[in-house]
Amino acid sequence: MAVVSRGFGARRRESDPRLPPGQYLTEDFPVLSAGPTPRIDLDQWRFAIRSETGSQVSWTWDEFQALPIEDVDTDIHCVTRWSKLGTSWRGVSLDTLLESVESEAEYAMAHSYGGYTTNIPLDELRDGQAWVAFEFDGEPLDPEHGGPARLLVPHLYFWKSAKWVRGLTLMDDDEPGFWEQNGYNMHGDPWTEERYW
Amino acid sequence: MTVGGWQPARVVEAVGATPSARLLHLQVPGWPGNEAGQHVDIRLTAEDGYQAVRSYSIGSYGPGETIELAVDEIPDGEVSPYLVRDVLPGDELEVKGPLGGYFVWRPGGAAPVQLIAGGSGIVPLMAMVRAATDAGAAASVRLLYSVRTPEDAIYRDELERTATDGGVGLTWRYTRAAPDGWTGHVGRVDDDVLRAAVWEPGREPIFFVCGPTGFVEHVADALVGLGYPSARIRTERFGGG
């Protein structure tokens, strides 16, 4: 039984069935990251996937842009409790990218320019659930939001959608990434509030 | 760090800190203590069961069952106006925490510490100032605190006291209006301000930067531009929502 706070509720916001429990709507786009924003030149940019056997495939920016590109309209949910509904992105599906890699691995570690990491089960990256996105709202993705390209895994809390992503390492066993070592859940489903350890 | 469920908390003190912010002391039975820089989730429940949850930085640190929050009112906000204007000593709410294992400072490191706060971003950094002072490490800590006007500075009196002989090095930056008799410039934190207020690169300071998104983006970018390594700059941004 929750404790009732005397007099609270006068300024309540409308609830929306698209909001997972414990989330509130925001109209702007808050920025959360652990350090300064990295700046990456497109001619230096690479996205690489390394399998558990050590084989590697990588794309330059131009090669990446030549891949099939998808439009994605989705809601996003940050563990700090804001949610943003109906966001629009463009990017390359992880299904497309993972086709180039032979792997039996079950987990992936996403690596970012700037050193950030986050772990994600490969099942959560396949079947139209995840992209490497480089446009937001019809514009190139802003650096403070992860540009030139970020992971987009909208069905998990947004710390899994690694900004400034540079690649994936596929792993047989799960390992914690940056926030996972610092108190956040290994999986991160917003609908079951997998926020912390 | 294992975070338990929601714990009841009672407001034991609520005092104004600035025209828009209030210091709340919450008594949390069984609170395990917290490190300097951690935060807490606050849950409010209305009589009809409606709930809202927000995160707030903790201005206090260490053991004990009372924690201090400084809540700044967000215009058109849902939770902060209640905490700043309505809640009274004796009222109850719920907390979960302490949370956050990255934006924390522990005494004992050899590197000097540079704290840079914008507005209510001072709160987690104040916990670090207090922890450093209590640990006898204040002389290795500098704080650059940017506020619009002198009245907007949370913890002004305590910071001024702490910054006396051998204490934390304190630099104010006023972006709109300075106190009477102020001889420095007024404006946002820029490279000149950082060069004057911040430990020089050769001292290899570790940074904790906290404030609104635009402020933190600007300061962190400027620090990288001045030659400080990204890996030593920890940031916490807030705003929006």
For B216, which DSSP code?
A: H
pLDDT of the residue at A1: 66
Name the residue with tokens 């390359």: A92
For B170-192, the pLDDT digits (tens) are 999 999 999 999 988 999 999 99
Res. B168 pLDDT band, cuts 50 70 90: very high
How large is the average pLDDT for residues B50-61? 94
**Residue A186, min C-alpha distance to chain B (Å):** 13
| Rounded Cα distance, B199 and B144, in Å | 11
pLDDT of the residue at B239: 58
Reported ipTM: the value is 0.85
Residues of A in contact with B221 (CB under 8 A): 36-37
Hey, are the CB atoms on A2 and B54 less than 8 Å from each other?
A: no
Residues of B in contact with A33 (CB under 8 A): 235, 237
pLDDT of the residue at A29: 74
For A101-142, the pLDDT digits (tens) are 999 999 999 999 999 999 999 999 999 999 999 999 999 999
pLDDT of the residue at A176: 97
Q: ∠ at Cα A156 (B2, A178), nearest 5°? A: 50
Q: How far apart, in Å, are the Cα atoms of A81 and each of A22, A24, B185?
A: 6, 6, 38
| Rounded Cα distance, A184 and B55, in Å | 15
Residues of A in contact with B45 (CB under 8 A): 2-5, 8
Asked if omega into A148 is within 30° of 0 (cis), the reply is yes
> What is the Rg, in whole angstroms, of the alpha carbon atoms belonging to chain B?
18
Asked if residue B146 has pLDDT above 80, the reply is yes
pLDDT of the residue at A33: 78
Measure CA A166 to chain center: 13
| Rounded Cα distance, B153 and B23, in Å | 12
The model's pTM is 0.92
For A4-46, the pLDDT digits (tens) are 999 998 888 777 899 999 898 887 777 777 889 999 999 999 9
Whether residue B62 contacts residue B125, with contact meaning beta carbons closer than 8 Å, is answered with: no
Q: How far apart, in Å, are the Cα atoms of B1 and each of A102, A122, A188, B97, B215?
A: 37, 26, 17, 10, 30
| Rounded Cα distance, B135 and A78, in Å | 35
Flag whether residue B50 sits within 8 Å of chain A, measured between CB atoms: yes
Flag whether residue B75 sits within 8 Å of chain A, measured between CB atoms: no
pLDDT of the residue at B164: 83
What b/e readout covers B85-107, taking b as 16+ CB neighbours within 10 angstroms? eebeeebbbbbbbbbbbbbbbee
CB pairs under 8 A between A and B: 131
Using an 8 Å CB-CB cutoff, list residues of chain A that contact chain B.
2-13, 22, 24-26, 28-38, 80-82, 114-115, 144, 178-179, 181-183, 195-197
Report the DSSP pairing between strands A24-25 and A82-93.
Answer: parallel
